[in-house]
C-alpha cells in the first residue's frame, strides 16, 4: 500500500523548496502525494501573488497530483488526517499558528496528530518560531545549518539530532532539470539581484540613512533632510563620511564594470509588483540593464536556472540567494552597504551574514559598495573565478551535496520513518 504524503503549501514560494520533492514523490510508486493549499494572504493585498491556488501550480506539476483548496478548518483536517505524513517548510507549531491566522481559534478536537516533516527553506528555517525541532523529521542542507538551529536548544541537541537528516539543499536539484540553462559561448553575462528593500522605506527594516542618504544621489536633498532634522546626529556625520555612496552611484559602477569586461547585464529583481502595479526597478536600474529576467517561476525557480547560465552573480544586498549560487556553481559577489542603513533588527542579520556566510574567496566574495564604486572599471570577471576546491569546501559547509538527489534522500528518510 502506498504512503499518503500531504504537502502543505502556505505560499507559492514554497514550491522553490518542495517542487522537486513533490515531483519525485509523484514518480515514486511508494507514495501517493497530494497538495493542501492554504493561504494567509488577503485576495487584494500587496502579497496576494503569494497565494497558492490550483491555477498557479507549477507547470511541471499541473494535472499530475491531487490538489485540495480547503474553505473551512474541517476541510483542512480531512486532508491532514487522511495522510500518513505532512511535508512542509515549517514545523507543526508554525502550521497551527497559520491555521489560526486563516480560520480563527481551532476547536479543541482539532489537534495535529499526523506525523510531520519540515524541509529547510532558507536561513530563517533555523529560527525557533519555525519549529523544525517540533517535527517528527527535519531536513537540513548541512551539519552547519543543523548546528545553528540547535544552538537555540543546547540541552536538547542530541534528541533533535536523532530526527534530523542532513540531505543537501533542495533547490539545488533545480540545476539538474532540463529547463536549467547552461553557459553559452560568447558574451559574458553578469546577473544582478537588486536590493529587495530599495523601493521601500519601512522603519522595521531600514534607517533614515537609507532614505535620505543612500536613496538620494544629490547633495542638495541630503542637506535638506539634515536641516529638517530627519537624519539624526549619527547620520549627520555619515552625510560626510558616505558622501560618495548612493544607490545610483552603485548602479552606474555596475554598468561600468560590465562595459569594461564586455559583459551583458541581466537584471533579476526579487522584488514583486504590488497589487497597485508599481514598478519593480528604479530608473537607474532600467537604464543600466541589457535584459530583464521575467517570469518569476517558482519551480524550476527562474532565478536559479538563470544563475546556472551566468558568469557572475552580484547581489546588491545581503541575500540568501547566495545558497542558490553555490548550488549552481556560479561565482557570487555580495555588495555590502554600511549597516547604518539598516534598522537594529536587520543589523543583527547583517553582522551574522558577514561573519558566517558572506566572504569565501574562490566561491563567494564580500565587496563593500564603496570599494566597488571606486574600483569598478579596474575589477575583472577573472577576479571572481570559481576555484573547485574552495567551492567544494563552501558547498560542504552550507548547501551539502549537489547531485540532483536531495529529493530522493528526503523521500527515502520519510519512507524509513514510517516503516519503523
Instruction: Classify domain 188-398 by CATH number.
Output: 3.40.50.2000
Which grid coordinates belong to 242? 558616505
Rounded Cα distance between 204 and 140, Å, is 29
Helix (H) or strand (E) holding 256: helix 247-260
Which among 43, 37, 160 is positioned nearest to 98, based on CA atoms?
37
What CATH topology corresponds to 3-169+403-419? Answer: Rossmann fold (3.40.50)
pLDDT recorded at residue 45: 44
Please report the DSSP string for 153-199 in residue order.
-GGGHHHHHHHEEE---GGGGGGGSTTSPPP-SSSEEEEEE--TTTT
91-98: long-range contacts (C-beta < 8 A, 24 or more apart)?
91/116, 91/118, 91/130, 91/131, 91/132, 91/133, 91/134, 91/135, 91/138, 92/116, 92/131, 92/134, 92/135, 93/129, 93/131, 93/134, 94/129, 94/130, 94/131, 95/8, 98/10, 98/38, 98/40
DSSP H helices, 64-137, are 73-81, 92-103
Q: How far apart are CA 24 and CA 27, in angstroms?
A: 5
Q: What is the pLDDT of residue 178?
A: 82
- Please, what's the largest Cα pairwise distance for the chain? 73
Q: At what angle do helices 232-241 and 219-227 cross, to 10 degrees?
A: 160
Domain ranges (residues) in the chain = 3-169+403-419, 188-398
The pLDDT value recorded for residue 48 is 63
Residue 241: per-residue pLDDT: 66
Short-list 118, 177, 194, 119, CA closest to 301: 177
Q: What distance lies between CA 199 and its chain's CA centroid?
A: 18
pLDDT of residue 213: 79
Cell of 409: 534522500
The count of other CB atoms within 10 Å of the CB of residue 240 is: 8
- Kindly give the confidence (pLDDT) of every residue in the chain, 420 residues in length, as a single tens digit, with 9 standing for 90 and above: 899 999 999 999 999 999 999 999 999 999 999 999 997 654 444 456 688 999 999 999 999 999 999 999 999 999 999 999 999 999 999 999 999 999 999 887 777 889 999 999 999 999 999 999 999 999 999 999 999 999 999 999 999 999 999 999 999 999 998 877 666 678 899 999 998 888 777 778 888 878 877 888 777 667 776 666 667 656 666 665 667 889 999 999 999 999 999 999 999 987 654 434 567 889 999 999 999 997 678 999 989 989 999 999 999 999 999 999 999 999 999 999 988 888 888 899 898 888 888 799 999 999 999 999 999 999 999 999 999 999 999 999 999 999 999 999 999 999 999 998
Query: Hunting for cell 549627520 — which residue is that?
Result: 236
pLDDT of residue 46: 41
The rounded Cα 70 to chain-centroid distance in angstroms is 27
Check residue 275 and give its pLDDT: 37
CB atoms within 10 A of CB 286: 13
Amino acid at each position: 500500500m502506498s504512503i499518503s504524503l500531504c504537502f502543505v503549501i502556505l505560499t507559492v514560494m514554497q514550491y522553490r523548496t518542495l517542487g522537486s520533492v513533490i515531483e519525485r514523490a509523484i514518480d515514486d510508486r511508494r507514495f501517493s502525494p497530494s497538495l493542501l493549499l492554504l493561504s494567509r494572504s488577503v485576495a487584494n493585498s500587496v502579497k496576494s501573488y503569494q497565494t497558492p491556488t490550483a491555477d498557479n501550480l507549477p507547470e511541471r506539476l499541473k494535472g499530475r497530483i491531487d490538489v485540495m483548496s480547503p474553505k473551512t478548518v474541517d476541510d483542512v483536517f480531512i486532508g491532514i488526517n487522511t495522510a500518513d505524513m505532512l511535508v512542509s517548510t515549517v514545523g507543526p507549531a508554525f502550521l497551527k499558528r497559520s491555521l489560526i491566522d486563516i480560520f480563527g481559534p481551532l476547536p479543541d478536537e482539532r489537534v495535529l496528530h499526523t506525523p510531520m516533516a519540515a524541509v529547510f527553506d532558507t536561513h530563517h528555517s533555523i529560527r525557533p518560531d519555525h519549529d523544525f525541532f517540533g517535527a517528527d523529521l527535519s531536513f537540513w542542507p548541512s551539519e552547519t545549518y543543523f548546528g545553528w538551529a540547535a544552538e537555540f536548544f543546547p540541552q536538547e541537541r542530541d534528541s533533535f539530532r536523532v530526527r534530523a537528516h542532513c540531505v543537501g539543499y533542495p533547490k539545488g536539484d533545480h540545476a539538474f532539470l532540463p529547463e536549467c540553462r547552461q553557459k553559452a559561448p560568447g558574451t559574458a553575462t553578469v546577473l544582478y539581484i537588486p536590493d529587495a528593500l530599495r523601493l521601500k522605506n519601512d522603519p522595521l527594516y531600514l534607517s533614515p540613512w537609507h532614505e535620505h542618504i543612500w536613496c538620494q544621489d544629490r547633495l542638495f536633498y541630503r542637506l535638506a533632510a539634515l536641516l529638517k532634522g530627519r537624519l539624526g546626529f549619527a547620520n549627520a556625520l555619515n552625510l560626510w563620511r558616505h558622501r560618495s555612496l548612493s544607490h545610483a552611484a552603485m548602479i552606474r559602477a555596475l554598468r561600468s564594470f560590465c562595459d569594461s569586461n564586455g559583459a551583458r547585464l541581466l537584471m533579476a529583481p526579487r522584488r514583486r509588483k504590488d497589487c497597485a502595479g508599481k514598478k519593480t526597478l528604479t530608473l537607474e536600474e532600467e537604464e543600466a540593464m541589457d535584459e530583464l529576467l521575467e517570469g518569476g517561476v517558482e519551480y524550476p525557480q527562474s532565478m536559479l536556472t538563470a544563475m546556472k547560465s551566468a558568469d557572475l552573480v552580484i547581489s546588491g544586498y545581503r541575500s540568501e540567494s547566495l545558497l542558490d549560487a553555490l548550488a549552481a556553481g556560479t561565482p557570487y559577489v555580495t555588495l555590502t552597504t554600511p549597516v547604518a542603513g539598516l534598522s537594529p533588527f536587520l543589523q543583527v542579520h547583517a553582522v551574522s551574514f558577514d561573519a558566517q556566510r558572506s566572504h569565501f574567496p574562490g566561491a563567494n566574495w564580500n565587496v563593500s559598495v564603496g570599494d566597488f564604486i571606486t574600483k569598478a572599471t579596474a575589477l575583472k570577471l577573472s577576479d571572481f573565478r570559481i576555484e573547485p576546491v574552495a567551492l567544494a569546501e563552501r558547498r560542504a559547509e552550507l548547501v551539502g551535496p549537489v547531485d540532483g538527489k536531495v529529493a530522493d534522500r528526503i523521500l527515502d528518510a520519510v519512507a524509513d520513518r514510517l516503516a519503523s
